[in-house]
Structure 1
Amino acid sequence: MAKQEHSSILEALDVKKVTWYHVTTVIISGMGFFTDSYDLFVISLVTKLLGRIYYHHPGSSSPGSLPDGISAAVSGVAFAGTFIGQIFFGSLHFSSR
């Protein structure tokens, strides 16, 4: 019986026409995935740059680096912001439906 329900759901999806809602959902989801992945990729570069800018000792031949606690905090805030943004903007999108 579950197999019949499963196939009827798939048949209903096959005949469903693509609407503007489907197009906007795909565009918004794609943009969100791109910006989140870009942010998570760049955060490691940003932490290195912050260390070179703010923790460089004048006269030293080596570039500065962020202390481990600050580096973890910056990365953690980036991950938390990604998660909160996904929840917030996802709820906005589905509440406007």
Structure 2
Amino acid sequence: MIVEDKSVDTHSTSSAHTHSVLEQLDNSTLSGFHLKAMITSGMGFFTDAYDLFIIGVALAILTPLWHLNTFEVSLIGSTSLIAAALGSIIFGRIADFVGRKAIYGFTLIVLAIGAIASALAPNLICLLIFRFILGLGIGGDYPLSATLMSEYANRKDRGKLITMVFSMQGAGLVLAPLIAIVLLSIHLNNDLVWRLMLGIGAVPALATFYLRRQIAETRASRWQ
């Protein structure tokens, strides 16, 4: 009796389908879909840049309020950066196994929770913990955003689209001090001002969450 190995045929069909999808994406013309993917990916970079930059401005207000010393200031400022490096490894690896779409929105939720919790922090220890959580979300977002855009971009416009995604980071860096200027100019209580600065970082993250859940996932974004 001859037993057919159907798993080989299934794998071959799956590989052929994946190749066909990627070839179509490579050869497609620039469309609204590409722009939507660029904005969806870029808003992650925008939010990441804002949250990493705004803490420096917030610390200028928070330092005299909490009587922070130099070590504590440097610790608050660097916690998210350290966590981001760890988050990129953790979430990047998880996404390889469960698919980027499953993790893509989750990193924004982690980021938003970290931003809101940081704004509500009652003391130094809590602020460090919440900024660490924020950093994990930021670190997870970086590799996923860049990879998703590179997968969906067509061959002709790939460099342009990825550049536009990264340029959103600059927009976040510009917006952060502008928001700080507005909040300081309306003469709010300083304790409220620094909390608003940190909490606002959750707004673009939550606004982008719905778009991220609508982005389809290529079969190439999972381990086969």
| TM-score, normalised relative to structure 2 | 0.29
| Structure 2 residue aligned with 1:23 | 35
Q: Say if 1:48 and 1:65, in contact at 8 Å, map to a contact too.
A: no
Q: Provide closer, same or farther for how the CA distance between residues 38 and 83 of structure 1 changes in structure 2, counting only shifts above 3 A.
A: closer
Cα deviation, 1:3-43, whole Å, max 9, x if unaligned, reads 32221121221232221232143135324312322312432
Q: CA RMSD in A?
A: 3.8
| TM-score, normalised relative to structure 1 | 0.53
Distance 2:125 2:60 in 1: 12
Q: Provide closer, same or farther for how the CA distance between residues 85 and 46 of structure 1 changes in structure 2, counting only shifts above 3 A.
A: same
- Where structure 2 has 5 or more consecutive residues not aligned to the other structure, the ranges are 1-11, 77-121, 138-198, 215-224
Distance 2:211 2:30 in 1: 22
Distance 2:16 2:49 in 1: 39
Q: Which has the higher helix share?
A: 2
Identity fraction in percent: 27
- Where structure 1 has 5 or more consecutive residues not aligned to the other structure, the ranges are 56-63
| Structure 1 residue aligned with 2:180 | none
TM-superposed deviation, 1:50: 0.4
Where do 4+ consecutive residues of structure 1 move more than 4 Å? Answer: 66-69, 80-85, 92-95
Equivalent position amino acid for 2:21 in 1: I
| Structure 2 residue aligned with 1:90 | 209
Based on CA coordinates, which of the two structures has the bigger radius of gyration? Answer: 1
Higher relative contact order (CA 8 A, sep 6+): 2
